[in-house]
Amino acid sequence: MIRRRVRASATAITAVSFLFLAGCTSAADDVAGGSGAAPVGLEGSTAFNDAKLGELAEAIETALEGRDTSGVRVAMVINSPSAYWAEGRTGMENAARKLGVQADFQAPAGGDLNTQLSILDTLRADRVDGYAVSAVDPAAVRGPVGAAQNEGIGVVAIDSPLSGTPAPVVYLGTPNTEAGRQAGEAMKKLLGGSGKVAVLTGSLTAANATQRIAGFTEALEGSGIEIVDTLNDDADPSKALSNAQTALQANPDLTGMYTVWSYDGPAAGQAVKSAGKSGQVKIVADDAEPKTVDFVRDGTIQAMVLQRPYQQGYLGVYVLTAMKVLGEDATDALLKPYLEEQDGATTLSSGIGLVTAENLPTYLDDLKKLGVTS
């Protein structure tokens, strides 16, 4: 049985986009060896769900042929201005250019919920045709999303699912419980099935966070790994660093950290490295912020469990444009073969990747082909 203690610290991806998957892994020789090498038995993957989403993008383009899209206005509203979202913004911009639509990127400063609610209200007042949203708090955005839907504005959930809205909202993103489960399986291999682990997260209410933690916990059931702390930073990167330091100080025998939001990985890496415990405290991090990538290179972080934010931006624009130009019924028909039920949400999966030092060069080369730098 896993014992958990929850504590909120008070201290401070066009067609070419889908052809890159057969990249050569020999570039792994360029990554620093030694402690940076992938742990034995931890096999990486960068396939995501790009092949199927490529088919869907082509189907939407075909359906849009001969239609005027120049007046379509869509937006992408994220949950915090993290470096993680640079990839998603590139996807949004590439899709907007491809389809000839207008797309606006909106980020609430500091991940502030009230600011995000204000952004959504403004988009509705401005009569935008549709938006993709990563909710700071899914329950809190039901009102603005419902009002938008009632006025014919298309909505797609990204990064974190939405429920309880007047009309069902398709979730375009990673199946979060499965992502957490894969993180847990990676941690079990890294620790040999026993040890003490802390979890760092940016929220205890956002569905992406709660589902990932649930999947991680499920994967550890029956093992000798104990979750000794779950620390919430309320979308504050500086607090995330403080939480990581607190976890190390409170648990001198800590052997692992699982980081749930993108900036939590760099926070854990910095804290572990400063404490002189690189390689001793294993880190499995969700998402690939630039500093997280650096820590994978030098062996401070052993694995990244990745979403595909590029697709959340890219396919988000495609789906919203289809909803406006083709109508919801026609769009639903196009999406249906690609949808699955995950975590209680109708999901258009962007897939899950597992990146270690060994396959990191392949992953970064893939991103460069999309125009994304890391």
Neighbours of 340 (CB within 10 A): 10
Rounded mean pLDDT, 16-33: 33
Identify any residues that bridge with 201 across adjacent strands, giving them in sequence order. Answer: 232
Strand partners, 104: 75
Q: Which residues contact 136 (CB under 8 A, 6 or more apart)?
A: 79, 80, 108, 111, 112, 113, 116, 203, 206, 235
The string of DSSP letters for 187-251 reads HHHHHTTEEEEEEEES-SSSHHHHHHHHHHHHHHTTSEEEEEEEEE-TT-HHHHHHHHHHHHHH-
pLDDT per residue as tens digits for the range 98-114: 999 999 999 998 889 99
Residue 306 has pLDDT above 50, yes or no: yes
Q: Using the predicted structure, report yes or no on whether residue 189 has a pLDDT greater than 60.
A: yes
CB 231 within 8 A of CB 263: no
Q: How far apart are CA 255 and CA 145, in angstroms?
A: 42
Give the chain's end-to-end CA distance (angstroms, integer): 39
Tell me the average pLDDT across 348-355: 96
Confidence of residue 25 (pLDDT cuts 50, 70, 90): very low
Q: What is the pLDDT averaged over residues 296-317?
A: 96
CB atoms inside a 10 Å sphere around CB 189: 18
Distance of CA 258 to the CA centre of its chain: 14
What pLDDT does 15 receive? 35
> What pLDDT does residue 272 have?
98
Mean per-residue pLDDT over the chain, rounded = 89
Write phi, then psi, for 103 (nearest 5 degrees).
Answer: -135, 135
H, E, C per residue of 11-48:
CCCCHHHHCHHHCCCHHHHHCCCHHHCCCCCCCCECCC
Give exposure, 192-213, as e/b (b: 16+ Cβ within 10 Å).
eeebbbbbbbbbeebbbbbbbb
Nearest to 372 by CA among 314, 301, 295, 300: 314
Mean pLDDT of 121-144: 95
Percent of the chain scoring above 90 in pLDDT? 80
Residues 355 and 31: beta-carbon distance below 8 Å: no
Number of Cβ within 10 Å of residue 97's Cβ equals 12
* Average pLDDT, integer, range 163-190: 95
Contact 112, 337 (CB under 8 A): no
Residue pair 198/247 in contact (Cβ under 8 Å)? The answer is: yes
The whole-number pLDDT of residue 42 equals 86
Query: What is the average pLDDT across 242-253?
Result: 98
pLDDT number for residue 32 = 35
Q: pTM score, two decimals?
A: 0.81
pLDDT for 374: 56
Q: Between 20 and 179, name the one with better pLDDT.
A: 179
Longest dimension (CA), the chain: 64
Residue 350 has pLDDT above 80, yes or no: yes
In the predicted structure, residue 64 carries a pLDDT above the cut 90: yes
**pLDDT for 176 beyond 70:** yes
Share of the chain above pLDDT 70, in %: 89
The torsion region of residue 34 among left (phi > 0), alpha (psi -120 to 50) and beta comes to: left
